[in-house]
Structure 1
């Protein structure tokens, strides 16, 4: 059995297909690269059940924003440019039926005490909630536009409840028109750690990328549209070993078939239960988290 690299990113699933499979039935790909700002935006659309079966992901749109680490953590102007692009893509993926006075529930998934998994809670803490300023609470209309409320459901080990169970209870009482979910993801590529943002209108399966599947959070389970924003913060240790050995074997002249046979033999020793994160993950969570929060605030306020 060939070693399978885990990922939450639809673009990486698409890239995993052989190069001679440019066209995948039921899947479309659009790319846009801004050479001046050095920002790449890729949209993967899974249009039907054939594409969903091929990609092993739900039907919907997956937009990926790739940016360069050496700029975003050193130049504020570059970070602002990425944030504005995120704001634009978020506005485009929000349901068109959402009215200007809609109620939006913003949810930060993850464990705030585990830094690689703390992106969701960190972003939520920077969100400008305003639902409590509406007329039904204050007695006078102080707030116009979208009504924003927030929720950090924690993780199963902290609460004894699935995030989906907690969110269903909130939705039944608050009646939001849409939910925006922020979470940490897993990637197949070291280069994408904290330098990629994925937006999707298919919701999210918490923990799927690391094999710790929890109840899905999507329109089918929540009964409202669910938009998910995720950033890869961990990569499987086996992936690093695989990539290093594959490059070395290719350099030595081994064929693709020989390399695949080699990995089949050592599959059980690839360390697929270990995940790696950058040593400065705390700083990266803060930098990327601030950018995401500012983009959400600007998008929902506009």
Structure 2
């Protein structure tokens, strides 16, 4: 009896927002939680547009101050989100049009963050994740496709890259803590101390709230990255503050929480319940809960059977393979001089 009483006392309080946070790494999804179009959030600016020559949709969320950061739960900075449904479809050219658009935004962010042209930079590319777990393998896969140039300095002299107008590009896939026993931040600090890059480009798999964004959304941000935060596995952040150099993060959502999927269907479910005379009372009850209480209810119902379950698309192998080429080609086009203005 006493054990049951203690268990009841430990149940999450619906008024405690941290208990029922629907996790996401995407700033665009945080913005969508607010009424209207999300542009009315104090300390946050929002801009949306569609590329005229394609079906690519762009969203720019800028968190302007600490007030906006507190509301959004993300650091001050710029978050660019590219959405393209074609990314979910097989394409022998690995979506060249998306790579080209992505390269342009990467180039713009690089110049804003460093104040230099990309060919003048010493860049360290980092592929985060576990290459043995497919939904988490995006970073290492992207890294495996990149054309490194830093070794050419050792072979042909320090002026070789400058003479040929090439960036000094090196890369590392540091694995995960369970494999190395070290925090990624610890590994990168050592590499940065030895190689002295001007910029980090970090590629990682993310978690989303909406299943429709899995593999079809790419987020760029100048705020760095917080490995594992989207699935509640917090690791030390990779940011300018922690590493001493600018960190440009490229991320693609590859998993979504099971509770979040059910949460997305609440409106449809309550509508159906209301139409049925036998369940209309239940529909009214669920509809009367605020969004946080709805999510907490769903999570408590799912927990005994599924625990903290995350879901990924059935074709995730093909999506990771295709996306890794799309992103690596975008990085190549952004930092190498060929075919640029």
Q: Any runs of at least 4 consecutive aligned residues in structure 1 with deviations exceeding 6 A, and if so which?
A: none
- Tell me, yes or no, if structure 1 residue 269 matches structure 2 residue 301: yes
Query: Residues 25 and 155 of structure 1: is their aligned pair in 2 closer, same or farther, counting only changes over 3 Å?
Result: same
How far apart, CA to CA, are the structure 2 residues paired with 1:44 and 1:21? 10
Q: CA deviation at 1:28?
A: 0.4
3-state SS in 1 of match to 2:265: helix
TM-score w.r.t. the length of structure 1 is 0.93
Deviates more, 1:240-249 or 1:209-218: 240-249
User: CA, structure 1 residues 235+264, in 2 after alignment: closer, same or farther (shift >3 Å)?
Assistant: closer
> Number of paired residues?
300
Structure 1 residue matching 2:204: 3-state secondary structure: strand
**Which of 148, 151, 156 lines up with 1:138 in the alignment?**
156
Correspondence list, 1:168-187, <5 A = 168-187=189-208
Normalised by the length of structure 2, the TM-score is 0.82
* Residue 190 (structure 1) aligns with: 211
Q: CA offsets per residue over residues 18-74 of structure 1, 9 Å max, x none?
A: 3386400110011111354110011000010111011010000000000014x6624
Structure 2 residue 123 is matched with structure 1 residue 91: no
Describe the superposition over 1:159-207 as per-residue Cα deviations: whole angstroms up to 9, x where unpaired.
0000010000000000000000000000001100000000000000000
Q: Which residue of 1 aligns with 2:280?
A: none
Q: Which runs of 5+ in 2 are unaligned?
A: 1-13, 275-282
1:57 counterpart SS class:
coil
Distance 1:112 1:74, change over 3 A: closer
Q: Do the aligned partners of residues 280 and 102 (structure 1) sit closer, same or farther apart at CA in structure 2, a change above 3 Å counting?
A: same
1:240 pairs with 2:275: no
Q: Which residue of 2 aligns with 1:81?
A: 97
3-state SS in 2 of match to 1:42: strand
Which residue is 1:50 aligned to? 67
Conserved 8 A contact 1:181-1:228: yes
Out of 200, 207, 215, the residue aligned to residue 221 of structure 2 is 200
User: CA, structure 1 residues 140+21, in 2 after alignment: closer, same or farther (shift >3 Å)?
Assistant: closer
Name the structure where helix makes up a greater proportion of residues.
2
- The worse-fitting range, judged by mean Cα deviation, of 168-177 and 98-107 is 98-107
2:49 is aligned with 1:8? no
Q: Which residue of structure 1 aligns with residue 123 of structure 2? A: 104
In structure 2, relative to structure 1, the CA distance for the partners of 1:30 and 1:262 (3 Å cut) is: closer
Greater Cα radius of gyration, structure 1 or 2: 2
Q: Distance in 1 between matches of 2:100 and 2:115?
A: 23
SS of residue paired to 1:116: helix
Which residue does 1:296 correspond to in 2?
331
Distance 1:46 1:112, change over 3 A: same
CA RMSD of aligned residues (A): 2.1
Give, in whole Å, the separation in 2 of the partners of 1:123 and 1:20: 34
The alpha-carbon deviation at position 298 of structure 1 amounts to 1.2
Decide whether the 8 Å contact of 2:142 with 2:327 is kept in 1: yes
